[in-house]
Amino acid sequence: MAAVTPAERFAKLAALDPDEVITHSFVRDIPISGGKTLALITLDNGKDHTRPNTLGPNTLLRFAEVLDEQAARAKKGEIHGVAVTGKPFIFAAGADLSKVNDIPDYETGKQMAQLGHWSLGKLAELGVPSFVFTNGLALGGGVEVGLNADYRTIDSSAAAFALPEVFLGLIPGWGGAWLLPNLIGIENALEVIISNPLKNNRMLSAQQAFDLGIADAIFPPANFLEDSIKWADAVISGKTKVKRKNEPGKVERLAKWDIAVGIAEKTLASRIGRVAHSPYKALELIKAAKNTDKKTGFAAEDDALADLVAGDQFRASIYAFNLVQKRAKRPAGAPDKALARPVTKVGVIGAGLMARQFALLFVRRLQVPVVITDLDQTRVDEGVAYIHKEIDELLGKGRISGDESNRLKALVSGTTDKSDFADCDWVIEAIFEELEAKQAVFAEVEKFITPEAILATNTSSLSVEQIGAKLKNPERVVGFHFFNPVAVMPLIEVVRTPHTTDEALATAMATAAKLRKNAVITKDTPGFVVNRILAKVLGEAMHAVDTGTPFEVVEESTRPFGLPMTPFELLELVGLKVGAHVLDTHHKAFPDRFFESENLHKLAELGHIFERDAKGKVKGIDKKALDIVKGGTTPMTAQQLQMRIEDGLADEIHRMLEDKVVEAAEDIDLCLILGAGYPFQMGGATPYLDRSGASERAFGDTFHHPPIRGVN
């Protein structure tokens, strides 16, 4: 029987995407010293830098062929080294994720891993040294091309360098998980493969990649290719000996490896729980890389990648990734951008927790005068002093220059005189959460400002329409709901009332974009999106406690969601008083579906739920808290409660969509991911609710058609 050719072996995979934009491998010979020749392969998909080189199946097959040709030439003595570089600004992003998402079954997923290993692995089997000149952006599989080669150089201006797989529910499965720890040591590899992706997909600069030992040499962009060729020449001729300071030695393998993995595992479990598969799979592979050979390591990567690609979490992650990358940038229901009015001066009413934080953001991002007011001069002064202190800190960290710091400080002023708001075209309030107070303060400011100036409110639970009800021009009012901490949370819920004009809404959207926040437009209904969902979950959690369910059982019930914290940790974080208020507001609005909790008010008086040690680490539930909630007689099991919460969430989200609070389920998930830290691997909430059967039970259908799930 004739041997199966690679093209035959990977045929199913290669046929998946008939329109694959193939990244070609162009070869040219570069003469180097001693009459030798370096074969230089340039990866180029023929498109400009907005369409990075990707590594689809047909690309990998072709790359392998080209490498085979070079190996044959090397054998004949025609070439003495092979180098790979990219097109301008781009080396290579990895596989085309949208296509990986289309992989129909486990076996095809496995082939994808095997094809990558087989093709890129040829870089180590050429019979002559192989080099990768990372001339620009390198992500995922792009980085792994380099790892499979013998030597690497990097352009100091390369825009992005990362192994983001774990962030997307995958593992670096074309050699990365085995090769990287063996190249740069266990701790560095854990950082690059696991910690960075989980820190909101943090990337490395070229300098960092070099310092970690991922690249052997770094050169400035001006002569990057020439410098890299010269360097390769010196390596080939033996003039340059490459020393790798981070390459793990015996001691590291014997003494450090397992300990580092153990610490990483504990850190992971305490930070994100155990629901997400990909970080733990990566950890397993990195752990095993200590004493397995390359072949075994690569085979383990094949299995892990195939499992993950076929699983639910990867599909949900890709859904979430597309929401954050695409939908967030083109918000649903946004009016024509051209309607937005310029904002040349900002007025901030209130100088408390929220107002002072966003006042700082306005001045930094809009670079226009910001005037801030409060009830008295002392509070105003405190607010301004806070903003100045934060600007000083930015300067101290080198994030802004001395000039910029001076300019920003000069742009901020405090006042107790509302007539100073006269020339503001954007005024935003964050005073106490009281309707009459907010109505009064807007009415007062309206006397001074032009009829077109926008009035925005940061209210988290009041009706935006009612806040504007006493105004002459209520059509200029818009909700602009930030999340705490303002600098960190990427979401703003922009609330449109029945009166809000397209101009006001467009101005709010443009302003959010200038603040570099993602805005989602919501209807003026209680809690908008994020607080309504939180109120549902927290209300159920407190109700369970009130009816006698132990705190620990409640915590266990929400663990499968993979949320960043338990309901009680979240309540403590937002403040128990605020939490009780959120529950009360929602109970008032929807008494049959949302619980209020007398006990939560009592816990708020106590000030905490958990007993903590001196460092703030949770030791357990505080005894006084246990006393407060005792007496419930109808406890639930974790399973019962989990189902109650899931069904309740599915029902509530379904109602929100019927009521057109937002345009689509996608917007709810986007809000939950960006505003409440709901995990990618759950896809926010709706993919999970569809999969768990909650959607069917709650409203006899699913949010997504077909549901977003794996192919296992």
Nearer to ligand NAI, 174 or 480 (CB): 480
Nearer to ligand NAI, 378 or 406 (CB): 378
Q: Provide the minimum distance between the beta carbon of 380 and ligand NAI in the complex, in angstroms, as a whole number.
A: 9
Give backbone dihedrals phi and psi of 412, rounded to 5 degrees, phi first: -95, 130
Give, as ranges, the residues between 421 and 440 that touch ligand NAI (CB under 6 A): 430-433, 437
> Cα(92)–Cα(533) distance, rounded to whole angstroms?
40
Nearer to ligand NAI, 428 or 629 (CB): 428
Q: Provide the minimum distance between the beta carbon of 17 and ligand NAI in the complex, in angstroms, as a whole number.
A: 44
- Residue type at 184? I
Among 7, 269, 332, 353, binds ligand NAI (CB under 6 A): 353
Reduce the DSSP state of residue 675 to 3 states and report it: helix
Among 458, 549, 597, 681, binds ligand NAI (CB under 6 A): 458
The encoded tokens of residue 606 equal: 């106590």
Contacting residues for 534 by C-beta, under 8 A, at least 6 apart = 527, 570, 582, 676
- Residue type at 162? A
Nearer to ligand NAI, 210 or 482 (CB): 482
Give backbone dihedrals phi and psi of 511, rounded to 5 degrees, phi first: -65, -45
Nearer to ligand NAI, 348 or 544 (CB): 348
Give backbone dihedrals phi and psi of 318, rounded to 5 degrees, phi first: -65, -40
Give me the DSSP letters along 631-653.
T------HHHHHHHHHHHHHHHH
Give how far the C-alpha of residue 678 lies from the chain's centroid of Cα atoms, to the nearest Å: 10
Pairing of strands 477-481, 454-457: parallel
Nearer to ligand NAI, 94 or 414 (CB): 414
Among 85, 459, 597, 692, binds ligand NAI (CB under 6 A): 459
Binding range to ligand NAI, per CB under 6 A, among 174-182, 185-193, 374-382, 651-659: 374-382
Contacting residues for 111 by C-beta, under 8 A, at least 6 apart = 9, 10, 12, 13
- Residue type at 551? F
| Interface with ligand NAI, residue 463, by CB under 6 A | no
Question: Please, is 465 exposed, middle or buried when counting C-beta atoms within 10 Å of its C-beta (0-12, 13-18, 19+)?
Answer: middle
The encoded tokens of residue 440 equal: 């009064």
> Cα(317)–Cα(328) distance, rounded to whole angstroms?
15
Size of the site for ligand NAI (CB under 6 A): 22
| Interface with ligand NAI, residue 526, by CB under 6 A | no
Among 63, 131, 314, 482, binds ligand NAI (CB under 6 A): 482
| Interface with ligand NAI, residue 379, by CB under 6 A | yes
Judge contact between 694 and 649, C-beta under 8 A.
yes
Binding range to ligand NAI, per CB under 6 A, among 25-33, 105-113, 132-140, 370-378: 370-378
Q: Provide the minimum distance between the beta carbon of 382 and ligand NAI in the complex, in angstroms, as a whole number.
A: 8
- Owner of token pair 């959690």: 541
| Interface with ligand NAI, residue 667, by CB under 6 A | no
In the DSSP assignment, the letter for residue 223 is G
Q: Provide the minimum distance between the beta carbon of 134 and ligand NAI in the complex, in angstroms, as a whole number.
A: 43
Binding range to ligand NAI, per CB under 6 A, among 190-198, 455-463, 510-518, 641-649: 455-463
Rounded to the nearest 5 degrees, what angle is found at the Cα of 585, between the Cα atoms of 584 and 590?
A: 95
Binding range to ligand NAI, per CB under 6 A, among 112-120, 372-380, 398-406, 564-572: 372-380
In the DSSP assignment, the letter for residue 340 is P
Peptide linkage before 474 cis (omega within 30 of 0) = no
| Interface with ligand NAI, residue 370, by CB under 6 A | no
- Residue type at 365? R
> Cα(472)–Cα(491) distance, rounded to whole angstroms?
30
The encoded tokens of residue 271 equal: 């930070």
Nearer to ligand NAI, 26 or 432 (CB): 432
Nearer to ligand NAI, 277 or 379 (CB): 379
Give backbone dihedrals phi and psi of 481, rounded to 5 degrees, phi first: -95, 105
Reduce the DSSP state of residue 346 to 3 states and report it: strand
Instruction: Indicate the Cα dihedral angle 626, 627, 631, 632, nearest 10°.
Output: -20
| Interface with ligand NAI, residue 460, by CB under 6 A | yes
Count the residues in the chain: 712
The encoded tokens of residue 578 equal: 């605020």
Per-residue interface string for the shown chain with ligand NAI, residues 174-213, x marking contact by CB under 6 A: ----------------------------------------
Nearer to ligand NAI, 232 or 520 (CB): 520
The encoded tokens of residue 555 equal: 């915590």
Among 83, 145, 306, 351, binds ligand NAI (CB under 6 A): 351
Among 350, 468, 527, 567, binds ligand NAI (CB under 6 A): 350
Among 221, 333, 352, 564, binds ligand NAI (CB under 6 A): 352
Q: Provide the minimum distance between the beta carbon of 457 and ligand NAI in the complex, in angstroms, as a whole number.
A: 7
Can you give the three-state secondary structure of 456-492, one letter per residue?
A: EECCCCCCHHHHCCCCCCHHHEEEEECCCCCCCCCEE
Nearer to ligand NAI, 237 or 484 (CB): 484
| Interface with ligand NAI, residue 385, by CB under 6 A | no
* For the chain, counts of helices (H) and of strands (E): 32, 19
Q: Provide the minimum distance between the beta carbon of 535 and ligand NAI in the complex, in angstroms, as a whole number.
A: 13
* Gap between the terminal Cα atoms of the chain: 33
Q: Provide the minimum distance between the beta carbon of 381 and ligand NAI in the complex, in angstroms, as a whole number.
A: 12
| Interface with ligand NAI, residue 484, by CB under 6 A | yes
Nearer to ligand NAI, 233 or 374 (CB): 374
Q: Provide the minimum distance between the beta carbon of 661 and ligand NAI in the complex, in angstroms, as a whole number.
A: 18
Of 599, 530, 602, the C-alpha closest to 570 is 530
| Interface with ligand NAI, residue 354, by CB under 6 A | yes
Among 82, 441, 478, 491, binds ligand NAI (CB under 6 A): 441
Q: Provide the minimum distance between the beta carbon of 213 and ligand NAI in the complex, in angstroms, as a whole number.
A: 43
Q: Provide the minimum distance between the beta carbon of 663 and ligand NAI in the complex, in angstroms, as a whole number.
A: 23
Nearer to ligand NAI, 125 or 444 (CB): 444
Per-residue interface string for the shown chain with ligand NAI, residues 299-338, x marking contact by CB under 6 A: ----------------------------------------
Judge contact between 236 and 32, C-beta under 8 A.
yes
Binding range to ligand NAI, per CB under 6 A, among 34-42, 347-355, 561-569, 704-712: 347-355
Binding range to ligand NAI, per CB under 6 A, among 49-57, 97-105, 454-462, 505-513: 454-462
Reduce the DSSP state of residue 285 to 3 states and report it: helix
Binding range to ligand NAI, per CB under 6 A, among 223-231, 368-376, 589-597, 699-707: 368-376
Nearer to ligand NAI, 217 or 534 (CB): 534
Q: Provide the minimum distance between the beta carbon of 488 and ligand NAI in the complex, in angstroms, as a whole number.
A: 12
Of 595, 593, 597, the C-alpha closest to 698 is 593
Give backbone dihedrals phi and psi of 426, rounded to 5 degrees, phi first: -140, 120
- Residue type at 500? T
Q: Which residue is nearest to ligand NAI (CB)?
A: 352
Q: Which stretches of the chain bind ligand NAI, using CB under 6 A?
A: 349-355, 373-375, 379, 430-433, 437, 441, 458-460, 482, 484
